[in-house]
Structures are given as C-alpha cells and as structure tokens.
Chains A and B, each alone.
Chain A
C-alpha cells in the first residue's frame, strides 16, 4: 500500500461522511500531484490558491454585509 493510500485510509477512519471523504480524497490527490510536480513550495502554493479563493469569497460577502449595515 502506498503512503497516499495509507493516508486516505487514515482519513476515512476519522471522517464518517462519504461526501466529505470524497472531498478530502480529492484534496489529498491534488496535494500529492502538486508535490510530484514540484516540492513543498508547490504544495504550499496550491493550498494558498485554494484558501485565497475562499477568503476572497468571504471578503466580498463581508463587504456587502457591512454596506448593508451602513458601514
């Protein structure tokens, strides 16, 4: 069993929901793919891209809410 397979098995132990398992497996695949292409930095860049996309979405919603509040 490869390291990645063991990791996914470990994840499935801690998460019961199948849908969430799928999501984590997908992130895990991306992380390993990105590492194969580059290095630790490539993994970091991948995660930063993903978290920044979510952060921007939050920031936009936050700005709209503050406007609604008259701020």
Chain B
C-alpha cells in the first residue's frame, strides 16, 4: 500500500443520512459497513465521493440517475461537512468539504503534509482521477455495472474506457471527429474542382462569341484572314483617313483620333471614331441644311393645313347665312313680317274665335256643372233660380248638341290660328339661326386672324389683308421642296461616304471583339501560371496538410489507445477470468474476457467465444460485471493513485453460492488494495467476518432515526 492513497479516517456531519458528527477510523485493509437498508451505509461511502469531488458527483454526466435532484445537506443540519485523511507512504492528505445552509457557497480545501490549497484541479491531478473514472474503477455502483453489460455498444465502450483509464484519449478522438474537418475538405475540393469547370464554361462562351462575330463579319465582307491585329490596324487607318478627308472637305473639325498600336488602343479608337461620325452627321452643312428645311417644311405644311380647315369652316357658315338671306330675308325683314303681317292676322282670327267662344264658354260651363253632379238621376236644383229640374240628362243632351254645332264653326278658325302661330314660330327660329351664324362667323374670323399671326411668324414676314396666306404658304413650300431637291444629291453623297466609314468602324469592332476574346481565352488557358491560381493552390495545400496532420494525430491516438487497452486487458485478463470462474462457476461457459478490439464482453468455453449478453442471465451478468470491475480494479496498471476500492451492496441479485464465491474473490484481492464494503445481507456479513482473512474493521449501523440520523457503531 505504499504507492497509492489509502483512507485513514473520515468524519461525517450533516451529510445526507448523518446529522451529528461521526468519525470512522479505517486504516485496516478491509472495512465492513453492515446494517439494515436505509441505515446510512451508502451515505458513508458516498461521503467519500463528495469529499473528493463535491457536487459534481450529482451531475447528469456522471450517469447515476438516482442522484438527480440530490440533497447533500441533511434537512436537520445547518452544515454538511466531510473531513477525510488519506495516506501514501509518509504523505498525509487531509480533505475538507462543507456546505452551509446560510452562507450558500460550499467551502473546500485540502492540506498535503499541512500545506493548504483550494484548487480542486490540483487535487484531482494528485489523485490521478476524475469523477467519472472514480465511479468505474474505485466505487462499484450498480448503474456502472449495468452500463458495462448494456446492449448499446457506445455506452459499453465508454464504460470500459473509464475502467481502463482511456476516457481522455477517446474524448480527444471524439473532439477531432466533432470538428468535421473532412466536410471542410470536401467543400474546398469541390470549389477547387469547380475552377476547371467554370474555366471551360467561360472559354466555350467566349468561343461562341468569336464565332458569332466572325459570321457577322464575313456577311459584311470580311474574310477569315481579316481577324488579325494587322488587319485591325489597317482598318483603323482606313477609318482615320476617311474621317479626316470627309471633315476637311466639309470644312469641319474633328478631334485627333487615338493611337492604334495594340488591341486596347484600337478599341478606344473605335469608340472615338463613332463619336467623330456622330459629330460629322450633326455638323455637316448639307445634312444640317436638309434637316432644317425638312423641319420648316413640316412646320409650314401644318400651318397651311390649319389655315385651310379654318377657312373652309368659315365658308360653310357664310354659305348657310347667305342661303337664309336669299330665301327668307335677313333678321329685319323676318321681324317685319312677323310684326306687320302675321301677328295682326293672328290677332284678328283670335278675336273671331273669342266671339264664338263666349257662347261656347257658357255652354261649356253648363256641361261641366252637370258632369260634376254625382248622381245624375236625382232631382237637381237650377244653379240660377234653384227651382227643381226634372230631366237633367235631357238637358245635357241639348247642351252637347249645341257645343258640337259651335265646334263645327270654330274648327276652321282654330286651324287658321295654328297656321299663323306656326309661321311666326318658324320665322322666329330663322332669326335665331341667323343670330347664331353671325356669332360663329365672328368667332371663325377671330381664329383666322390669330392664325394669320402664327403664319406670319412661320413665314417670318407680314401678310397684307390683300394677300392670300394659303397661296403664300404654298409658294414658300414649293421653294423648300425645290431647295430639298437641289440638296438631295449632295446629301446622298455625304451619307454614302459616312455610311461607308460607319461600316468600316463596325467591321473594326467585330475584328476587335474577336481579338479581345482570343486574348481572354489565351489568358484563361494560362490561368494556372497566374499568381492568383498559385495562391488558391497554396492555400488548399495548407488546408490539406493541416487535415492530414490532424488525421495522423487521430491515428496515433487510436494506436496508443488500442495499445493501452490491449496492454491493460492483457494484464487483467487472467484476474477477470479467474474472478468470473470463481464467482459465476458456470460449467458451460466458465471463462470471461473482453475483446480488446471490439470491447465486447465474451463468455468462453475452450476455444469457443460467445458474446456474454446473448447467453447470460441477470445473475451471471452481475457476476460478469463484478468480475470485470474487480479484475481491472485490482490490476496494477490502473492509471489513478487511489489505493482502495468501494463495493456498495455487491451481493444484490446474487444467490447464496454466488455470495460465497464473492467472499472467496474478496480474499483474492491483493493486499495493496484497501477494500470498503457495505452490505445489508447478514449472509454476506457473516461470511466476511468468518472467511475474510485480512485484518478487518467493522462498523455496524443501527436503524436510522430522524433525530440522531445514522448510528454507526465500531465493533471490535
């Protein structure tokens, strides 16, 4: 026991099942805690974990489900406190951890040979163990054993990793895998591959453009030999000469055209040449004069047309008025006829009608009177003398006869009145029409007057009242047409010359397009010689190198992990098998081993190896778990510095024979491993007391009480 830390003393107060402080002196190589269930045995063992690792032992990552929502401090205590003393050779290590009800923050410190420190990491480094590994290789917990035997390969592998002290390497490998470097590499490879694809696509597109430009050029009269820099230069010279000649002959000025030593300058030249062409078309006297004449022609034609429309309208109105004057006379004559002829006749005829109407009026009143009577068969009174009238109907009949006679007399008179009234109305309408015509003719005259002013502006001269504007406009238009005809030949010639230059410029542009695309294709073909390409390749190589390096590191870690696992399993192989043979005592598959490659737990019979999970029952699996734990736990190759193992109620699910076998195994644990064991089984307790040959110390736990808490008693 000289190379590892063993427990010498532990004092527990206010922790879980403990209320009052209890001290255990446990320097013997075998410590037994026995007593009924829920008496505080497990709290004692867990206090060791808490003292070493604090609240971390209750975290989810530890993998013990029953520790979720764990209460560290006993509800009847103000402080949970654990003090431990460990010894390794001459070194004494004291660890103190507490959690007070009021102050909140748990306190912790340790003293190595009296030197105090509070760094948890330092303590773990000194003990060479992390909480997870403690559960697997120091403190046997049923859940950890179950993880060893689970059907989930990852959980089984993790559990074995912990037992073998390989968790760190495995975690680093997982971290390397988690970085997904290969995904980044794939992405980079794809992008790098795309460069060539895109390159080909661009070159193909440019070749298509070249083909199109050449086809257009050949249609315009170029030959395939014309698509060269020399030909472009000659074309530039042709365009320059043509432009300069045309400008000088036209008395116009054009800016100097740029040099044409290479394709780039020739492109600038083509742009300048087009600009010069535009200028010459704008400024050439004949072309400009033609544009001006055409504009004037259009303007005068519009003025003339408007004039004609206005005049035409005026003539129509005048013709209408003249017709009325001729047929019916003017307003005065018409008014005279109404007033002196028709109105008197109308008046006279109306008087005659009124004479007859007087009588007719009386008869009409009488008829209306009798018609108004509601019941004509009743006797009525005379409306004048009020004497009764015997026969009203008869009277009505006479009255109607009289009215009919009078109507016969009135009919021609009425016709006569109607005739006069109609004639008067017609004459009045004619007067109105003449008034309207007079008004419209006046408006039309005003419009013509204004348009005359517009015409004078267009013609730039005054038009006398004696002159006909339409004719003047006609004369002017004839003159313009004459001028245009005179200009036509000169303009045609100028345009032809400019069109030829424009055509040359267009051909030049086609040649330049071909040359430019060819240069670009050549550039693209040489892209791998460019610095930009070299930079991409270099950065990709750096990435590949890094990824390759990380992969080599991963492979090296895998190799060391495998080597380490194999070495440890090889070292523990015999003790695992021996413990299983003793503990399970199966005749069919007496041996057990762990495959160092697959981490599979195998049941063995001679040369036959079968996965343990496929044939073992629960009791056998527990035996297997115990054997693996104890076999590895006692192996000298364990990586941590703790010299004790803890078995909490290890006989669960074991029958009497298995329990006896377990005691035999405990006897076989090397002397340099201190064993702390708890049990509620009296059979196991008795067997330990009677069969374990190592020096022992026993703490017997009485039934736990609410007031006192755990009540351990040292039994001599």
Residues of A whose CB lies within 8 Å of any CB of B are 3, 6-8, 10-11, 14-15, 20, 23-24, 27-28, 31-32, 35, 39-48, 50-52, 54-55, 57-59, 61-62, 64-66, 68-71
Residues of B within 8 A of A23 (CB): 549
Residues of B within 8 A of A32 (CB): 172
Contact of B178 among A40, A50, A58 (CB under 8 A): A40
Q: Is the CB of A68 within 8 A of B532?
A: yes
Give bound CA distance, A3 to B565, whole Å: 12
Give bound CA distance, A3 to B187, whole Å: 33
Q: Is the CB of B560 within 8 A of A7?
A: yes
Q: Is the CB of B178 within 8 A of A44?
A: yes
Given A66-B195, A69-B527, A70-B520, 6 more contacts at CB 8 Å?
A: A6-B564, A24-B552, A24-B553, A54-B543, A61-B536, A65-B530
Contact flag A55-B543 (CB < 8 Å), given A3-B560, A11-B552:
yes
Residues of A within 8 A of B549 (CB): 20, 23-24, 27
Task: State whether the Cβ of B395 lies closer than 8 Å to any Cβ in chain A.
Answer: no
Q: Please, what's the 1-or-0 string for B154-198, where 1 marks a CB less than 8 Å from any CB in chain A? A: 000000000000001101101110111100100110011001001
Residues of B within 8 A of A31 (CB): 172, 175-176, 553
How far does the Cβ of B395 sit from chain A's closest Cβ, in whole Å? 120
Contact of B171 among A40, A45, A52 (CB under 8 A): A40
Contact of B175 among A40, A55, A58 (CB under 8 A): A40
Contact of B536 among A40, A43, A62, A71 (CB under 8 A): A62
How far does the Cβ of B197 sit from chain A's closest Cβ, in whole Å? 11
Number of A-B contacts (CB under 8 A): 129
Q: Is the CB of A65 within 8 A of B535?
A: yes
Q: Is the CB of A51 within 8 A of B547?
A: yes
Residues of B within 8 A of A66 (CB): 195, 198
Among B541-573, those with CB < 8 Å from A are 542-543, 546-547, 549-550, 552-553, 555-557, 559-560, 563-564
Task: State whether the Cβ of B687 lies closer than 8 Å to any Cβ in chain A.
Answer: no
Give bound CA distance, A29 to B576, whole Å: 36
Contact flag A43-B532 (CB < 8 Å), given A35-B168, A50-B546, A58-B543:
no
How far does the Cβ of A65 sit from chain B's closest Cβ, in whole Å? 4
Residues of B within 8 A of A39 (CB): 171, 175
Q: Is the CB of B175 within 8 A of A68?
A: no
Give bound CA distance, A61 to B530, whole Å: 12
Q: Is the CB of B168 within 8 A of A71?
A: no
Q: Closest 10 A-B residue pairs measured CB to CB?
A: A43-B175, A47-B179, A44-B178, A40-B175, A10-B556, A58-B539, A61-B535, A40-B171, A65-B532, A61-B536
Task: State whether the Cβ of B254 lies closer than 8 Å to any Cβ in chain A.
Answer: no
How far does the Cβ of A11 sit from chain B's closest Cβ, in whole Å? 5
Give bound CA distance, A23 to B542, whole Å: 12
Q: Is the CB of B543 within 8 A of A3?
A: no
Residues of A within 8 A of B515 (CB): none
Q: Is the CB of B552 within 8 A of A15?
A: yes
Contact flag A35-B171 (CB < 8 Å), given A3-B564, A6-B560, A54-B542:
yes
Task: State whether the Cβ of B207 lies closer than 8 Å to any Cβ in chain A.
Answer: no
Residues of A within 8 A of B536 (CB): 58, 61-62, 65
Q: Nearest B residue to A47 by beta-carbon distance?
A: B179
Q: Is the CB of B178 within 8 A of A41?
A: yes
Q: Is the CB of B553 within 8 A of A7?
A: yes
Interface residues on B, range: 35 or more
Contact of A70 among B172, B202, B530 (CB under 8 A): B202
Contact flag A10-B520 (CB < 8 Å), given A43-B176, A61-B539:
no
Residues of B whose CB lies within 8 Å of any CB of A are 168-169, 171-172, 174-176, 178-181, 184, 187-188, 191-192, 195, 198-199, 202, 520, 524, 527, 530, 532-533, 535-536, 538-540, 542-543, 546-547, 549-550, 552-553, 555-557, 559-560, 563-564
Give bound CA distance, A8 to B335, whole Å: 135
Residues of B within 8 A of A52 (CB): 184
Residues of A within 8 A of B187 (CB): 55
Q: Nearest A residue to B205 by beta-carbon distance?
A: A70
Give bound CA distance, A54 to B176, whole Å: 17
Task: List 15 interface pairs A-B (beta carbons < 8 Å), by A numbering.
Answer: A3-B564, A6-B564, A7-B560, A8-B556, A14-B552, A40-B174, A50-B546, A51-B179, A51-B184, A54-B542, A54-B546, A57-B539, A66-B195, A68-B530, A70-B520
How far does the Cβ of B127 sit from chain A's closest Cβ, in whole Å? 16
A-side interface mostly: helix
Residues of A within 8 A of B533 (CB): 65
Give bound CA distance, A66 to B524, whole Å: 11
Q: Nearest B residue to A8 by beta-carbon distance?
A: B556
Q: Is the CB of A68 within 8 A of B539?
A: no
Q: Is the CB of A35 within 8 A of B172?
A: yes
Q: Is the CB of B171 within 8 A of A7?
A: no
Give bound CA distance, A57 to B530, whole Å: 17
Q: Is the CB of B179 within 8 A of A44?
A: yes
Residues of B within 8 A of A61 (CB): 532, 535-536, 538-539
How far does the Cβ of A68 sit from chain B's closest Cβ, in whole Å? 5
Contact flag A48-B550 (CB < 8 Å), given A10-B560, A14-B556:
no
Give bound CA distance, A45 to B555, whole Å: 19
Residues of A within 8 A of B178 (CB): 40-41, 43-44
Contact of A27 among B180, B542, B550 (CB under 8 A): B550
Residues of B within 8 A of A46 (CB): 179
Give bound CA distance, A24 to B168, whole Å: 19
Q: Is the CB of B169 within 8 A of A3?
A: yes
Residues of B within 8 A of A6 (CB): 560, 563-564
Residues of A within 8 A of B552 (CB): 11, 14-15, 24
Q: Is the CB of B527 within 8 A of A44?
A: no
Give bound CA distance, A57 to B533, whole Å: 13
Q: Nearest B residue to A12 by beta-carbon distance?
A: B556
How far does the Cβ of A23 sit from chain B's closest Cβ, in whole Å? 6
How far does the Cβ of A50 sit from chain B's closest Cβ, in whole Å? 7
Q: Is the CB of B202 within 8 A of A71?
A: yes
Q: Is the CB of A58 within 8 A of B540?
A: yes
Q: Is the CB of A7 within 8 A of B543?
A: no
Q: Is the CB of A3 within 8 A of B168?
A: yes
Residues of B within 8 A of A11 (CB): 552-553, 556
